[in-house]
Structure 1
Amino acid sequence: MAVTLLAHEVSDLCLGKPALRSLSVTATVSDALTTLKRSDESFISIWSCDHTSKGKKGYGGDVDDGCRCVGKVCMVDIICYLSKDENLLSPSAALESPVSVILPKIPGPVVHVEPHSSLLEAIDLILQGAQNLVVPIQTNISTNSRRKPHQKLSITEPTMHNGREFCWLTQEDVIRYLLGSIGLFSPIPALSIDNLGIISTDVLAINYHSPASSAIGAIMRSLANQTSVAVVDDDGSLIGEISPFTLACCDETVAAAITTLSSGDLMAYIDCGGPPEDIIRIVKARLKERNLERMFEEFAMCSSSNTSFSSSSSSDEESSLSPTATLPRSGRYSRSTSYSARMVRRSEAIVCHPGSSLVAVMIQAIAHRVNYVWVIEDDCSLAGIVTFCDMLKVFREHLQSMA
């Protein structure tokens, strides 16, 4: 029965999950940038550790010896931060700010849970706003025991907190787990998303010709909501999207493109394969008009100088970004994140129709590593969006009706 499935523990979902890399809340934005560039993960966990007060309570569970994950940071956080007017003239100074400036002001997206917590409890936390559930994991050999006493911690290694390593579970992990036993929820999965009433019309959208800079607020909200920003034409038809998942595969210099381009041109700039040369020339010319030519020099200088901050361990980890005044291409990372598994251009939105079944939309989202699917009508007009949270609400309500 589905109720029995939901009684499973979150530790069942942690099998094979990698241990978290982390940074201290006292680190700088520059530290976070360097760590992200060296990591194969899209997000870095940010921790606050107070060993003078043991057994502190975190959100959703106990945290050993005052160590608590207080948030997460990705490249999109840094790009949007650098795109602010006050940071464009001096990105190097902005990068030296504490990483806390780009963390959410209200705690909640990251929640600690114990391994014995039930899957039902995990779903409830997600529906309450949690994006990542931090779970302690068991390891046979600790990272610290393998490291010599004098050897510094590499930022590419998992981080120990009082002898424990942690992983985190996402909405996608939970949806994947439910999909493996989808037959237990029959007939719900076969119903259309329209009949289930889970198509949300509360979407973030911007016109194709609007300045990309006007979408910064929407990009930040879409990152917080784990969705995306739709790019539409004057008739409301969906053309593409500006996705945080795509931006997370770029580097900090995309801030210049956001500052100078239209939303449509930004889609081309961050698209798979790098920006066209004509768009690069447009960005350079507009930067010159605004006296912002030194932006890239500062980015490059900061990137090269931050390769040896305190948690770095060896010179062979030096950053691949060398000082240059030329415009780097976006999508410079080959790591497998989000859209990298897709066989389409990354600005192409993943879409379904109101008549699509719930299980079909679940599979579609998981296959493309996104937390949402756009819903369009037959004429390609944007009807709304379906998210993993919407799907989880359906399963949760189904369980309540069986109680």
Structure 2
Amino acid sequence: MAARLSRHELSDLCLGKPPLRSLSVNDTVADALAALKKIDDNYVTVWNCHHSFIRKQQTAISKCTTCACIGKVCMVDIICFLSKPQNLSSPSAALHSPLSALIHQTSPLLVRHLPPTASLVEAIDVMHEGVQNLVIPIQNLFECFDSNTLRHNNNSTYCWITQEDVFRFLLNSIGVFSPTPANPINTLGIIDTQNLFAVCYDDPASSALDLLSLSLIYQSSVAIVDPNGKFVGEISPYRLNSCDEGVVPAMATLSAGDFTSYIDCGGPPEDLVQLVKERVEEKNLLELLHDETGLSSWSSFSSSCSSDEESCSGKNWKLGGYSGRVGRRSEAIVCYRWSSLVAVMIQALAHRVSYVWVVEEDGTLTGIVTFQGMLKVFRDHLKSMC
């Protein structure tokens, strides 16, 4: 059974996947912001060519010898970029920065082109190295894309496969790996205590900016702890991806604890809205309050969420199914050292995150389990059976 599972090709995981919307590295931060608001995905791909669905630049396809995805950009990248001290005083200028300003030096390592004939084991191998998204050419038996679908060199379109896609596929055959999935995670060596990013509740939310950027690389999050090391919440990239640039003033002025309340689904409390406004005025960051800067009105965020605890609606929120961006309340997902691998795996998949925090019975934060760590277990099992 394991050998048969390992022979599956990536084309099997691509069924039903939509073509990627791409931006050129020469586009601007504002272009990326506009793109993220138009698509039902948390990320937009960045390419080394000039084929951008924002600008509809289909020119010179024949002159472009190599079209390659060199990274990806999400709303968290934009929020962190606009929240930097040098950009707070002039957000309109920051929005006109080239997209290369958002591409971290490790970004090319997070995406990898693979052929659709590559095996599941090959996919798990490269993801174990830290690759998060596999860019796969779409093989079409029928032409089903609209006229606005961008094509790269050789008239190609692409989709991508995430670590979440691989885990959902593995979950359908979880019995093949028995009894390993039932083992406690502390016996499998997958609890990460090194790459543990945390800030204190009363620390400025802005102190988490660099950690948020790192959490995107490690597909984790930024924990919030009290002075005794007790886990009290998180600033989650997955939650921030459901927001827009309107949360920048809050990121620049609130504490980490208050910021999590501000971005919680249902809208920020009125007292926090007023507090942000007062502090923005105190810091002379008045340009953040005006629409003409290119930022959306930050105050509109307070009315953009519904009272539904599970989902939000409004111009800053997108609803959707498995591939959509879904607003969630900001309760963090936790497990214990003795939790089983399959239980942790299901927790992550159910909540559309790639990590689960590990805490002690008294709430002390002790580690984190990520998809990449869990992949090692399945990779070793498949290797041993082939």
Asked if Structure 1 and Structure 2 have the same fold, meaning a TM-score greater than 0.5 normalized by the shorter chain, the answer is yes
The one-character-per-residue Cα deviations of 1:174-220 (angstroms, maximum 9, x if unpaired) are: 11111111111111011110111211112111111111111101111
Rounded to whole Å, the distance in 2 between the matches of 1:390 and 1:338 is: 23
The one-letter code of the counterpart of 1:97 is S
State, as a whole percentage, how many aligned pairs show the same letter. 53
* One of 141, 144, 148 as aligned partner of 2:143: 141
Aligned to 2:90: 90
Aligned residues: 362
* One of 324, 334, 337 as aligned partner of 1:351: 334
Rounded to whole Å, the distance in 2 between the matches of 1:36 and 1:113 is: 25
The one-letter code of the counterpart of 1:102 is L
Q: Contact 1:339–1:368 at 8 Å: present in 2 too?
A: no
Rounded to whole Å, the distance in 2 between the matches of 1:325 and 1:116 is: 47
Q: Does 1:45 align with 2:25?
A: no
The one-letter code of the counterpart of 2:260 is M
Q: Does 1:333 align with 2:317?
A: yes
Aligned-pair distance for 1:346? Answer: 2.2
The one-character-per-residue Cα deviations of 1:122-141 (angstroms, maximum 9, x if unpaired) are: 01111111110000112322
Q: Contact 2:17–2:159 at 8 Å: present in 1 too?
A: yes
The one-character-per-residue Cα deviations of 1:102-150 (angstroms, maximum 9, x if unpaired) are: 012232111100000011110111111111000011232264xx53xxx
Aligned-pair distance for 1:80? Answer: 0.3
Seen in structure 2, the aligned counterparts of structure 1 residues 402 and 99 have a Cα distance that, compared at 3 Å, is same
- Structure 1 segment 314-329 matched on structure 2, within 5 A: 324=297, 326=299, 328-329=301-302
Aligned to 2:159: 167
The one-letter code of the counterpart of 1:14 is C
Q: Contact 1:199–1:384 at 8 Å: present in 2 too?
A: yes
Residue ranges of structure 1 left out of the alignment (5+ in a row) = 56-63, 148-152, 304-320
Aligned to 1:311: none
Rounded to whole Å, the distance in 2 between the matches of 1:339 and 1:17 is: 12
Aligned to 1:262: 255
Q: Does 1:226 align with 2:219?
A: yes
Aligned to 2:109: 108
Aligned to 1:176: 168
Aligned to 2:56: none
The one-character-per-residue Cα deviations of 1:12-66 (angstroms, maximum 9, x if unpaired) are: 11111111111111110011111111222111111122898989xxxxxxxx941
Aligned to 2:54: none
Q: Secondary structure at the match of 1:386?
A: strand
Rounded to whole Å, the distance in 2 between the matches of 1:109 and 1:349 is: 25
- Structure 1 segment 283-302 matched on structure 2, within 5 A: 283-297=276-290, 300-302=292-294
Aligned to 2:270: 277
Q: Contact 1:208–1:263 at 8 Å: present in 2 too?
A: yes
Q: Does 1:381 align with 2:364?
A: yes
The one-letter code of the counterpart of 1:328 is F
* Structure 1 residue ranges, 4+ long, deviating more than 4 angstroms after superposition: 50-55, 324-327, 337-342
Q: Does 1:24 align with 2:24?
A: yes
Aligned-pair distance for 1:8? Answer: 1.1
Q: Secondary structure at the match of 1:256?
A: helix
Q: Contact 1:339–1:369 at 8 Å: present in 2 too?
A: no
Rounded to whole Å, the distance in 2 between the matches of 1:108 and 1:93 is: 29
- Give me the TM-score of the superposition, normalised by structure 1: 0.85
The one-letter code of the counterpart of 1:273 is G
Seen in structure 2, the aligned counterparts of structure 1 residues 341 and 54 have a Cα distance that, compared at 3 Å, is closer
Rounded to whole Å, the distance in 2 between the matches of 1:76 and 1:353 is: 28
Q: Secondary structure at the match of 1:40?
A: coil
Rounded to whole Å, the distance in 2 between the matches of 1:71 and 1:334 is: 23
Aligned to 1:314: none
Q: Which moved more, 1:289-298 or 1:329-338?
A: 329-338
Aligned to 1:117: 118
The one-letter code of the counterpart of 1:120 is V
Rounded to whole Å, the distance in 1 between the matches of 2:368 and 2:323 is: 18
Residue ranges of structure 2 left out of the alignment (5+ in a row) = 51-58, 306-315
Q: Contact 1:245–1:338 at 8 Å: present in 2 too?
A: no
The one-letter code of the counterpart of 1:270 is I
Rounded to whole Å, the distance in 1 between the matches of 2:191 and 2:233 is: 19
Aligned-pair distance for 1:226? Answer: 1.0
Aligned-pair distance for 1:377? Answer: 1.1
Q: Contact 2:246–2:299 at 8 Å: present in 1 too?
A: no
The one-letter code of the counterpart of 2:116 is P
